[in-house]
Each structure stands twice: as C-alpha cells, then as structure tokens.
Amino acid sequence: MIIRFRISTRQATVWLAALIAVAPLTGIADPSVSPTAAAAGFLPISFGAETGSADSAAEQANALFLDIKPVLAHNYAGIDTNALLARIQERQKWGEKDDRLIEAEGIIHWDRGDVHLAVPCFQRLANPGALTLGFMAEALVAKGEKYEAAGWFLRAARAQRPSEPAAITLYLRYLEIKPGEAQAEMELAERYERQMRFGESADLYLKHRDRLLKDPAASERVAGLLASQGRMADAAALYLELRKAHPENKALSVHLAETREAMGQRVEAAQAWSDAWILDGTDTTARNRALAHLEASGPAGEDAFRTLLEKALQYDAASASLHFKLAVLLLKSEDRKGAYTHLEKALKASPGNPTYTARLPDAIEGDSLILVHFALLKTRFEKEGSSVRVALLAARGFSLTGDKPRACRAWSQLAVVAPRQLEGRRDAFLDLTTCGDAASLALANVIGAKHLAAGFDREAARSMVQIALRSQDYPKASAYATRLAIEAPADAPIALAAAKSLLEAGRDGESREVLVAIGQHAPMPEASMLLGRMYLASKDWSRAAEQFKVAHDSFPEAPRLLGECLAELKDFQGAAAEYETHFARTGEK
C-alpha cells in the first residue's frame, strides 16, 4: 500500500538532497521514490508491504557517489574523468553542496594539472580529507607560501589513518619547512614505529627524551624498542633516566637489570636487581639474582656482594644459604673467625649439610676449635684425598691430644706434599723432636734451620743443639750452642753440655767456640775451667790464667793451675801465693 502526501517541489528537492547526503558511498537510494512523483511534488512513504517503481534520480545520485568513491581514494585508473567531472558539475548546478562532490572535483582538477581550479574546490570544503589537505599544502608550496603550507602538511599527516605510510612523507614535508619541531617529530617517531621502521623511530624518540620521560609508559616502550634493536647501551641509559625520574617504579629497575644482563654487565645488573628488591622486599627472586651476579663477578663485585648479603641477613637471619655465601666470601679475605661464625649458623639452620661441612675445616682456626671438631678432622684426614689444610689441622689435633707418633706421621706426610706448609711451624718442630726417630729428626732439622734463619727462638735453638749432636753434625751443634749462649745466657748450661759433648767427640775446636761464647756472655766456673785447660795445653799461659781466675773459688785445682801459668809468666810471687792456697785447700805440698 502506498500513502501519498502532496508536498511542494522545493520540499521534495530538499528531502532528496538530504537523503543523498546521509547515504553512504556504497548505499542504495530509496527505490520507492519515483522521478515523476518527486517532480509532481509527491513523496511516497513505504511501510514495507509494497514497493513502488524505481526512482531514476535516486539511482543516478547513488551511482554518482559510487563512481566518485575511487576518486576520493585517489585510485581511479580507467575511469573517464571528463564524463565524471561533467556529471559532478551538472549535479552541483542544481544546488548540490555535498563535500564529497566538491572534493572529488578538486582531486580531478589537481590530477589534470589544473591547480587553479582545484584550490578553490579544496578551500570550499568544511572538512577536507587527508589527500586533499596534502594537495592543498603542495599548491601553497608551489605558490611560495611555504609556512602556510606547513600547517596543511601537518593537518594532512595527522588526518592519515594510523597505519597509513603516506603520513610519514607528509610529516617529513612539514619538517622540511619547520625542522626540529618537537611535537611533529614525536608524532613522526610514532608513525615510523607503526611502519616497523624502528631505528628511525628510536632516534627521534631519543632526540626528545625530555618529552619522553614525562610519559613513563611511552618511555618504557621506547626503551624496549631500543633493546629489541640491539641498542642495549641506549636502552640502559633511558631506563636509568626513567628510574631517576620515577624511583618508585619497580618495573623500571627490573627492565634495567635485564638489559644489563644482556650486556654482560654483572655488577650493574646486580645493582638494578637489588634496587628492585629494595622497592619490594618480598621479591626474593630479584634479591637472589642480584646475589648470583655479584657472586659470579669476582673481585669486582666482592664489596657489593658482602654488603648485599649482610643486608639480606637482616631480613632473613635464618637463611642457611645466605650465611654460607657470606662465610665463603669471608674465607676469600682470610677472615676465618667471621667465616666460622656464619658457617656455624648455616649448619644450625641446615644440620649435617655436606656442602657446609666440607668448608668447615677452612674456617677452623685456633686450638680450641681444632679440639671441638677434631673427630671430623681426624675422619677427613684419614679419608682418601683430604686437603692440605685438613692435614695441618689433623696434625695439630694429634699433637694437642698427646698422640705424638700420629702427629709426627701427619707432619711427615705434609712434608712430602706441601713442604712449605711446615716452614715456621714450631709445633711441628717440637713434635718431631719429641718423636726422635731418624726420619723425624731429619725433618725437624730442616724445619728448625729455616725457623732460626728467620729469627732466634730459644726453644728451637735448644732442640737444634740436641738434634745436631744426635746426628753428629758437630759444626752445626757448635753454631747452635754458641748462638744459644749469646742470645739466651740463661741457657748457658745447655751450651756447656754441648761443649762437653763436643770435647768427648774430639771436636776441641768447636767446643772452644762454645766455651768462649759462654765466658763472654754468661761466665761459668766450669766452662772457664775447661777453657783454661785448653789454653794451658796449648801453652797460652795468659789466657789460661784468666780462665783459672774465674774458676778459682769453685774448683780446688784451679789455684795450682793458675800458679803454673803465673810461674811461666815469671810472676813467681803470684805463683807462690797460688801454691800456698792450693796447699791450704788440698794439703798437697
């Protein structure tokens, strides 16, 4: 059913124009409107029950808009532009004001080189499209109005769809006129990024990093873009600046840490992971990654490693692994006392842990700790492949527990595998001297000689005198006894005993050296008596007399021998007096 309303021709024209204006380019005009009815002033309204005849005017309008669609898209090869232009202009004669018709006419004029006809069309548009804006800009450039053209280039670039590559060319044209304009370059950087021209995009972003840093999300994206392009140093620098500007943002520290890791910068990566942990104390993963990097970085990261471990233990005092790591680090710096404390805590938190127990001997220092752990040390020493340090501790342990034979065997084993470890070991020297077997004495002799070469040791000198005598090394025995008399006068009796042994062995010359040293540094009547007899035998009357004077009151025979010396020296009165003294003491005439 068709219901007809009588309306004026003017009203029909307006309504038809409105329908055409709102119809999409691909839409179809209402077929119920016939040209005859429209011309007569009647407008049919269909309720869907019945359709009228085709409206040729509407069809023509629709066909026209379909034909200009490729023109607006600037892709109309093979179309008769003369005929199309005539149709557009014919339509406009009847008062048609649709921007699409005007824009299409302008584009056709432009492509035909009729710029003077195209520009007026473009200027009539209320909302020109991106293509038209670009043409208008180029027209202004051609006229020499480049600064006015710049604004049109920028509008044209911004009007392009986000994924449209033509926008890049338009931005570049704008920047030719206004080079370095920050906002435009930032927009161009985004367009480059959408076109996956990441290198050019990143360069522009970095050029305006002050603007970038105001937007953490954008900055973070750009830093990730730099990293994806292998520009790790640039990415790290941007993350650093971002973190300074936004220190509370944990994600920035994490990204920086990952970038540093990729660059192989362990210490710097550890610092960034540590910062992330400080911002989030529950993130033990970040803390552990920081510790792992510092642990693997060697001497360069040791100070930071220790600081971080100590800080971590403030929050996690029962962590066996943290205590163990700190103990190992302290062992590297020879701080055995500190290392033992943390090893003890690690073993308390993880009793019997074989890894921790294996490092315990490295931290034991001092007789008290050796005795506490002697069972462990003994077992480890007796086990195949024990370390030199374990052997040293076990040997000392045997010595402390009174098992001298086993101590001597341990010292002897060490002398084979690590002889330098026994240098200066007074305890080893004394144990070996006590054992007294030939092998022990030989080793003690070597240790003692080096020990005394480094400086005098009274007890070592005593032992060396005995060792030299037992091994019949008389020159050394004389030298050690002489040194003992000179540097330890209180031990002159030991030196005197050595001198007597030398005399018994027929080593008068070595014995005399010892006795002279005693006479000079710790005079003793017995030593003087022996030395006096030596001088007397060699007819050195004067020196003999001096020695007998020292022994005069201690030995009954000394006055008689002194008298003989004085008689030889022509001191007859003195000799007579000494003989009288001797007669008074012994009754010998």
DSSP string covering 414-430, please? HHHH-GGGGTT-HHHHH
Asked whether the beta carbons of 231 and 200 are under 8 A apart, the reply is: no
Helices (H) and strands (E) in the chain, counts: 35, 2
Strands 42-45 and 3-6: antiparallel
Backbone angles phi, psi at 290, to 5 degrees: -65, -45
Q: What CA–CA distance (Å, rounded) separates 222 from 466?
A: 83
The answer to whether 220 and 251 have CB atoms below 8 angstroms apart is yes
Q: How far apart are the first and last CA of the chain?
A: 185
Angstrom CA distances, 94 to 87, 540, 558, stand at 11, 159, 163
Predicted pLDDT at 343: 94
Q: In residues, how long is the chain?
A: 589
Q: Which residues contact 348 (CB under 8 A, 6 or more apart)?
A: none
Q: What is the DSSP letter of 197?
A: -
Give the per-residue pLDDT at 95: 63
Select from 151, 136, 143 the least CA-distant residue to 106. Answer: 136
| 3-state secondary structure (DSSP) of residue 217 | helix
> Domains in the chain, please, with CATH?
1-127 (no CATH), 524-589 (1.25.40.10)
pLDDT of residue 104: 81
The span from the CA of 198 to the CA of 205, in Å, is 10
pLDDT the model gives residue 142:
83
What's the pLDDT at 23? 33
Q: Which residues of the chain have pLDDT under 50?
A: 1-54
Spatial distance between the Cα atoms of 551 and 529, rounded to a whole number of angstroms: 6
| Torsion angles phi and psi, residue 3, rounded to 5 | -105, 125
Distance CA 67, CA 84 (A): 8
Q: What distances in angstroms separate CA 561 from CA 262, 499, 509, one per listed residue?
A: 97, 21, 22
User: What is the residue whose two structure tokens read 């098992």?
Assistant: 403
For the record, the structure tokens of 368 come out as: 């008290």
DSSP-assigned beta bridge partners for residue 5: 43
Q: Which of these, 521, 519, 454, 513, lies nearest to 481 by C-alpha position?
A: 513
Q: For residue 55, what pLDDT is reported?
A: 58
C-alpha–C-alpha distance, residues 339 and 523, integer Å: 53
Rounded CA-CA distance 214/44 in Å is 61
Environment class of 203 (CB within 10 Å of its CB; exposed 0-12, middle 13-18, buried 19+): middle
Q: What pTM was estimated for this model as a whole?
A: 0.57
| Pair of tokens at residue 48 | 């869907």
What is the rounded (10 degree) CA torsion for 190, 195, 200, 205?
20
* Whole-number pLDDT of residue 269: 94
**Local structure of residue 46 (DSSP, 8 states):** -
